[in-house]
Structure 1
Amino acid sequence: MSEEFCSNCKQNIKPKRIDGRYIIHEIEHVLHFERGILYTIRELLIKPGENIKNFINENRSRLVKPVIFIIVTSLIYTLTSHFFHIEEGYIKLDAGKETGTNTINNWVQSHYGYSNIIMGAFIAFWLKIFFKKYDYNFFEILILMCFVLGIEMLLFALFALFEGVTKFPLMQTAAVAAFIYFCWAVGQFFDKTKTSSYVKALISYVLGMLTFGLLMTILEILIYLIKKH
């Protein structure tokens, strides 16, 4: 055995020096560029239901890992939004008041990746109820949410980019586009031949957003009461 390798674990005793190629390789590994994040986006835009079902049931190497995907896409939106100061025109926070509302809103705006996963969990809960006859557990539906909400973040990023360049308000349009994509993708996932699939997706989305908002409100109240005392 060469002295460069450990006789037990067969790993390099002395790792290679970190250089540009190492950094590029690490980025490729994290984003799974071997199959391609652009490939994943394309597949989720063309046939989201079919491709996500394939990921869950058969082949998990074709698409970027779902949690990584939603975090990366949320980061893309965050960077785009901050660069063009998009949300300043839609969300007004009084920086002088340390209220619970400000605390929660600031956290959500600073952690879109984690916030989307939490929100996705609430929507997944309702999807599990409305689509209970389908043989998918809560965590598999959560994987569905990571992919679908990840594409939503990219749609918001795209509209934010156009709004930043043109100065024309487009984020309401982005919300409509994201809503339509959600219903279409989720309906495709469960049963694209039934209108009820898209209706249930719509209702689950609304209920998931409402329950997520309710949680945020409760946390706001708790933070306010703690600070008050």
Structure 2
Amino acid sequence: MSNCKNCNEPLSGKYCAACGQPAQLKRVDSHYIIHEIEHILHFEKGILYTIRELILRPGQNVRHFLSENRSRLVKPIIFLIVASLIYSLINHFFHIEEEYMSFDGNEASATAAIFAWVQAHYGYANIIMGVFIAWWTKIFFRKYGYNIFEILILLCFVMAIGMLLFAVFALLQGVTRFNLMQYGGIAALIYSAWAIGQFFNPKKAASYIKALIAYLLGSLSFVIVAVAIGIIIDLIFKK
């Protein structure tokens, strides 16, 4: 009998009874790499299944994820980062002018640098923006009792589908050469308001209206704070 190399507990089988570590690790090869990628993205549970469920029944599925089962859907933060990466790759491949977030101004300013970072890192930027949207959503739907972190998980799922919608329209624009990104923005906004409203109360029209307002106010707050930080940095360094 040997001890687990992870927690030092005595081993009595192929796996440690205390921590689940295998008694003998398999060699790292192509199968290992593929399995790790599948595990991170939960391909074994179905990333296409996640997308389908979030498109058809977003409110029901996110509530189920929060309160009952967190293994059916792709992990929300990873899902958002991957969806944003897909959009960025398509946008970069077709050299499509950015429609999702842009800034026209002094290219040497800190504000321009901040928005350039946003355009290059949509995944992380969406998480930050999600915090602002979550704050406004919490205010509009405070009677439902969800905390800010649960709402942020909801928004990670919602914004991920939004980025995939952007990716679809970016792909269509790249192939057809028609300017379609504005329609992608409209589709993503409509979906976001619908999905958030479904999460809180799908039977009330007011839920969708409040969700739309919260999303817009959160996005606007993100932009205002980013501009304000850029201006403050410029003022400090110009002195």
Fold similarity call, TM over 0.5: yes
Distance 1:61 1:14 in 2: 26
Cα offset, 1:106, TM superposition: 1.3
Cα offset, 1:62, TM superposition: 0.6
Q: Which residue number corresponds to residue 180 of structure 1?
A: 190
Within the candidate set 187, 211, 216, 2:221 is matched to 211
Q: Does 1:67 align with 2:77?
A: yes
CA deviation string 1:112-145 (max 9, x = no partner): 1111011111111111111111021111111100
Q: Does 1:28 align with 2:33?
A: no
CA deviation string 1:40-59 (max 9, x = no partner): 00100010111011101111
Cα offset, 1:25, TM superposition: 0.7
Q: Does 1:8 align with 2:8?
A: yes
In structure 2, give the amino acid aligned to 1:54. H
Q: Which residue number corresponds to residue 133 of structure 1?
A: 143
Runs of 5+ consecutive residues of structure 2 not aligned to the other structure: 10-15
Distance 1:179 1:51 in 2: 19
Q: Which residue number corresponds to residue 43 of structure 1?
A: 53
Q: Which residue number corresponds to residue 152 of structure 1?
A: 162
Within the candidate set 183, 191, 205, 1:195 is matched to 205
More off after superposition, 165-174 vs 85-94: 85-94
Q: Which residue number corresponds to residue 12 of structure 2?
A: none
- Higher relative CO (Cα under 8 Å, sequence separation at least 6) belongs to 1
Cα offset, 1:16, TM superposition: 3.2
When the two structures are superposed, what TM-score results if normalisation uses the length of structure 1?
0.92
In structure 2, give the amino acid aligned to 1:194. K
Against the structure 1 CA distance between its residues 63 and 12, is the aligned structure 2 distance closer, same or farther, given a 3 Å change threshold? Answer: closer
What do you get for the CA RMSD once the two structures are aligned? 2.2
Against the structure 1 CA distance between its residues 186 and 99, is the aligned structure 2 distance closer, same or farther, given a 3 Å change threshold? Answer: same
Distance 1:48 1:203 in 2: 19
In structure 1, give the amino acid aligned to 2:182. Q
State whether residues 103 and 115 of structure 2, in contact with CA within 8 Å, keep that contact through their aligned partners in structure 1.
no
In structure 2, give the amino acid aligned to 1:130. F
CA deviation string 1:57-114 (max 9, x = no partner): 11111101111111111111111111111125885768x9421122111110111111
Against the structure 1 CA distance between its residues 88 and 45, is the aligned structure 2 distance closer, same or farther, given a 3 Å change threshold? Answer: closer
State whether residues 99 and 182 of structure 2, in contact with CA within 8 Å, keep that contact through their aligned partners in structure 1.
no
Against the structure 1 CA distance between its residues 89 and 156, is the aligned structure 2 distance closer, same or farther, given a 3 Å change threshold? Answer: closer
Distance 2:118 2:103 in 1: 14
Distance 1:21 1:61 in 2: 22
When the two structures are superposed, what TM-score results if normalisation uses the length of structure 2?
0.88
Between Structure 1 and Structure 2, how many residues are aligned? 227
Cα offset, 1:201, TM superposition: 0.5
SS of 1:87's equivalent in the other structure is coil
Against the structure 1 CA distance between its residues 186 and 210, is the aligned structure 2 distance closer, same or farther, given a 3 Å change threshold? Answer: same
Against the structure 1 CA distance between its residues 88 and 62, is the aligned structure 2 distance closer, same or farther, given a 3 Å change threshold? Answer: closer
Distance 2:28 2:206 in 1: 54
Cα offset, 1:13, TM superposition: 7.7
Q: How does 1:76-91 map to 2 (within 5 A)?
A: 76-87=86-97, 91=102
Q: Which residue number corresponds to residue 223 of structure 1?
A: 233
Distance 1:92 1:197 in 2: 32
Q: Does 1:112 align with 2:122?
A: yes
Cα offset, 1:226, TM superposition: 3.4
Distance 1:52 1:99 in 2: 40
